[in-house]
Structure 1
Amino acid sequence: MGEHSKHIIKLMVTACAVTMFFSCKSNFEDVKKIGVSENEPIGVAEHINLKYTDSGRVTANLLSPKMLDYSNREFAFNEFPNGITLYLFDEQDQKSTVLADYAIVYDKTGLIDMQGNVVLASATKDTLYADQLFYDQKKEWLFTNQKVTFKTGRDRINGTGFDSDVKFKQAQVLEIDGIITLDE
């Protein structure tokens, strides 16, 4: 074999190797997804006890019999199909309690969407009844645009929409349909 032939073979082998090297791509993400449908949770947990803190202070404690983890989605969330109990704590550690039949916690926004027979009992003995209630963990704010009944003191307020801080110092029904004042 001549020197020229050896040089051509080396060039061909090098060209093939370089072509193969650059044509391969990382399939690691695809391999991780094998066997996991994006419509299915990536994990299931039971007897959940999640604590949310801010500067070392517990601001909320979420309890649930079951959690479905959908962190494999582009907009990650955790679903609580069997309901939740959510304890909210203000700066003086006064506790309000929220019960709901179903909830979703959205990781990116910090919102908790509670649905179905939502009952909120505040530390000040006020009570809110709603079909849906949101809790913004970052702002420590509760709100809904659904129908509500809010018991505060001797008043029972029916209406649509509700806004409140976790201390219930700024609690208000947004569109009042009626107020019933109960006798003592």
Structure 2
Amino acid sequence: MKVKHILFKSIAVFIFTAMLFACDGNLDEVKQMNNELSGPQSTTKDINLFYTDSGKVQANLKSPKMLDFSNETFPYREFPIGVEVDFFKKDSTKNTIISDYAIIYTLTDIIDLRGNVKIVTADSAVLNSQQLYWDESEGWLFTDQPYTIQMPNGAVNDGESFDANQNFDTFNSRTNTGIQYIDEK
């Protein structure tokens, strides 16, 4: 009976020890999985995304790489190698935005464009800045960085910061200088 009791204890200690080592191995795997979850949920390469409404193309987004962090508390999508977006109007003309880097904050609809930001409008006006924010839900653009606008007629405007609606019908510049051409007709 005593031998049987010692044998059961030995088997129990052996099983408990085996379980501890098995859990240690699983713990490392769980830590590795947790590290993987702290990165992007997905990575997309050579993205060419079309946004349509009622069968008509409204926008076309192109980028060499997109990182999707939808798994974060404050979700966002990052374009670390740059982005080019074409926005099509009803008359099939387009406005284009290009930047070296972009990040879209999903909860706020704020898009942060950085590095060689360039907007080319359908009428060939060109805006350049190093950073530009676009509030997609409000349709509003703004920056506190220096900018340059070249108009189709050759007029140039350099400024320190601005805010405008996305059609540039309303444009508020903090300070600016430039050359303007006025039609005297």
1:1-184 equivalence runs, <5 A = 34-37=33-36, 39-52=38-51, 58-152=57-151, 153-176=153-176, 178-181=177-180
**Structure with the bigger percentage of helix:** 2
**Structure with the bigger percentage of strand:** 1
Calculate percent identity across the aligned residue pairs.
38
Deviation sequence 1:125-152 (CA, Å, 0-9, x none): 1110100112222222222121101112
Q: Secondary structure at the match of 1:169?
A: coil
CA distance in 2, matches of 1:53, 1:34: 37
1:58 Cα deviation after fit: 4.4
Deviation sequence 1:96-135 (CA, Å, 0-9, x none): 1111000001111112111001111111211101001122
Deviation sequence 1:20-41 (CA, Å, 0-9, x none): xxxxxxxxxxx8x934445411
Contact 1:41/1:69 (<8 A) preserved: yes
Q: What is the TM-score normalised by the length of structure 2?
A: 0.70
CA distance in 2, matches of 1:90, 1:104: 24
Q: Secondary structure at the match of 1:138?
A: coil
Q: Secondary structure at the match of 1:34?
A: helix
Unaligned runs of at least 5 residues, structure 2: 1-29
Q: 1:172 to 1:151 in 2, by over 3 A?
A: farther
Unaligned runs of at least 5 residues, structure 1: 1-30
Q: What is the TM-score normalised by the length of structure 1?
A: 0.70
